[in-house]
Amino acid sequence: ILRETSQRVGLRISQEKTKVLHINNKQEEPITMEGVTCGGRYKISKSGGSDEDVTARRKKAWQAFAILRP
């Protein structure tokens, strides 16, 4: 699916640079993180919602806008 989709938009997947990740679906206990920012991009909440993430992104966008505004 990845190869077909990328080819439609003109991208080529490098097999040397691409690694395949497998999810261990046999894990007994779920992994839970509360309010952790992963890699500086996503904010995870216990409820699984994205409200906190959206709020944080909007705040960062407004801060950047304020800096760029003449």
The answer to whether residue 2 is domain-embedded is: no
pTM of full prediction above 0.85: no
The answer to whether residue 45 is domain-embedded is: yes
Round to whole Å and give the CA distance between 17 and 15.
6
Q: Sort strands 42-44 and 36-38 into parallel, antiparallel or unpaired.
A: antiparallel
Determine if residue 61 is left, alpha or beta; phi over 0 gives left, psi from -120 to 50 gives alpha, anything else beta: alpha
Round to whole Å and give the CA distance between 26 and 22.
12
The answer to whether residue 61 is domain-embedded is: yes
**Which residue type occupies 12?**
R
- How many domains does the chain divide into? 1
Q: Which domain holds residue 41?
A: 32-70
For the segment 8-42, what is each residue's pLDDT rounded down to a tens digit?
A: 888 888 878 777 666 666 656 555 556 555 555 55
63 with 56: CB under 8 angstroms?
no
